[in-house]
Structure 1
Amino acid sequence: MANSLDRAATADDVKRINALLPVKAKIFRITQETPDVKLFSISTLDGHMPFPVSPGQLVMLSVFGMGEAIFAASAGENCLEVAVKRVGTLTEALHEAEVGQTMGIRGPYGNGFSLDICQGKNLLFIAGGIGLAPIRSLIKHVLNHRKDFGHLQLIGGFRSPKDLVFKRELTEIWPASEDFDVTITVDKAGEDWQGHVGYVPDLVKKLKPQSDETACILCGPPVMLKNTFNVLEELAFSPENILTTLEMRMKCGIGQCGRCNIGSCYVCLDGPVFSLAQLRALPDEY
């Protein structure tokens, strides 16, 4: 019997190898979103988008000599946009990076948001903190294909007014867009804050968004998700039309490390986007 190491590489082998091989890229713009969140615009060394991404898909960023981590990505002009919250060693290294610095990027990973479920429906976006980043990628797509979707509503929750990520989009661009309602709440307000104060599930219950012909897309901390799921079901949202992304569980991105499994499901291969109906069929580990 021939040794498996002697056989010719198949297309699947090449794909698997390439999935682990970062593309060398550079930072050409850095935007300070909040005191601990920066938005990185990343291109190839010759100024092009490293690869196309669909809304909700993920990329792996690596700082040479430091390691890598997975992030939600949005398509920008000749670049990919990645929001990074400073929470550990690798993200600290990214926050210390400067324009022009090279890094590794690989991907895209995951299934992304189902446009089949969203198309033709009203859309309710619910985001908590940095959870707005993957939702932003879908919002950008929707606004670029506005006639394919109905009424838009965003409910966003943040710790404080200074923690609003994508503040210009939240307060200026999106509210000025066609048929797009934006409501923001904060956990702790300063003297100058004129908006809502409180937690996202409570605000959803207060606003009572309409469930008819509406798809809901959520991303945020697990406790916010679980409490908001309950509110949405009380408001008669169909579990099949409630989508969330679990990218925080992903590690390798290609189903090899086993770190992201929920029961028999691998978040990186079967997700990271799941409907609530799909999650209800899995062990309660998300």
Structure 2
Amino acid sequence: MTDVPLPYRVTRVRPETADTVSVTLAPAGAAAVAPFVPGQFAMVYAFGVGEIPVSVSRIGHRELVHTIRAVGAVSAALCALRPGEQVGLRGPFGTGWSLGRAIGQDLLVMAGGIGLAPLRPLVAAALAAPHAYGRLNLLVGARTPDDLLYAGRLRAWTAAHGPPRCAVAVDRPSPGWWGRVGVVTTLLNGARFTPRNTTAFVCGPEVMIRAAARELVHRGLAPHRIRVSLERNMRCATGHCGHCQLGGVLLCRDGPVIGWNRAEGLLSVREM
């Protein structure tokens, strides 16, 4: 991990939705950040604007991909990058999904909106080791079809018979919509998993995380086997600004991925 931003060059920019792009970055010099694991994040610096925490959405040998939604000045500047331009990169930071703890178990991956981005490397890692895990379910929800990330890949997975067993739902369909209609938790009825031998990985808006985790517990999953990412609360990555503090936990240091057995209480404290 480095506390000094290293120069990274943009090698590719891929539009995902009207306000979201995937930016591929490669070291601009000999120095590179340490290897990432799925679920970790980097601090990405737009020169002259500022930096924000962004989870990795694909991990290559030397390249990293970050899927970024334009919601503020820094993220808008990053979304406007073009190949050849440079950014600063610090990291890796945070806890990962700890996929290794789920060896031999069924995997249940639930994503809402841009929450699919930090889960994508986990799915890739599971697909790369098909004999290490049981059944792989990928359940994805979004507001509209136009809000779906990686729509082409999701459509191919949904049509295929092999892993992952993928299902996609949107709240508001449009003409020609090929998936289901409803919230992401409704997709659990078609998933194949054994609750006592399943690890779940959940990322998305906080309301979606709460609903998904509570439904999973209702269906028999132990709370400690439900891993959630609370990355939307992070700011500085060093634990100094306090914006990511929930109770006694600093998410950029102790998270953003934590078990639901801890996360439920932390989120309840914030509601009080």
Task: Give the structure-2-normalised TM-score.
Answer: 0.92
Matches within 5 A, 1:104-253: 104-172=88-156, 176=160, 178-204=162-188, 206-207=189-190, 209-210=192-193, 211-253=195-237
Per the TM alignment, residue 190 of structure 1 is displaced from its structure 2 partner at its CA by: 1.0
The letter of the residue matching 1:22 is P
Q: Conserved in 2, the CA contact under 8 Å of 1:132 and 1:219?
A: yes
Q: Quick one: distance in 1 between partners of 2:163 and 2:27?
A: 36
Matched position secondary structure for 1:212: helix
Match 1:57 to one of 34, 40, 49: 40
Cα gap change, 1:208 to 1:149, in 2 (>3 Å): closer
Matches within 5 A, 1:17-56: 18-19=2-3, 21-46=4-29, 50-56=33-39
Q: Conserved in 2, the CA contact under 8 Å of 1:49 and 1:80?
A: no
Matched position secondary structure for 2:240: coil
1:169-223 CA-to-partner distances (Å, cap 9, x unmatched) read: 212257648432100001111121132111112333x436531311110000011
- Stretches of 4+ aligned residues off by more than 2 angstroms: 46-51, 173-179, 201-204, 206-210, 280-283
Q: Quick one: distance in 2 between partners of 1:221 and 1:48?
A: 35
Q: What is the count of residue pairs matched by the alignment?
A: 268
Larger radius of gyration: 1
Q: Any stretches of 5+ residues in structure 2 without a counterpart?
A: none
The letter of the residue matching 1:39 is S
The letter of the residue matching 1:145 is A
Per the TM alignment, residue 77 of structure 1 is displaced from its structure 2 partner at its CA by: 4.3
1:205-257 CA-to-partner distances (Å, cap 9, x unmatched) read: x4365313111100000111111122111111110110111111111111121
1:87-138 CA-to-partner distances (Å, cap 9, x unmatched) read: 1111111122110001101000001111243221110000001000111011
Instruction: Please state if 1:81 is matched with 2:73.
Output: no
1:32-60 CA-to-partner distances (Å, cap 9, x unmatched) read: 11111100010111488643100100001
Q: Quick one: distance in 2 between partners of 1:279 and 1:91?
A: 27
Q: Quick one: distance in 2 between partners of 1:156 and 1:105?
A: 29
The equivalent residue for 2:242 is 258
Per the TM alignment, residue 76 of structure 1 is displaced from its structure 2 partner at its CA by: 2.2
Q: Percent of pairs identical after alignment?
A: 32
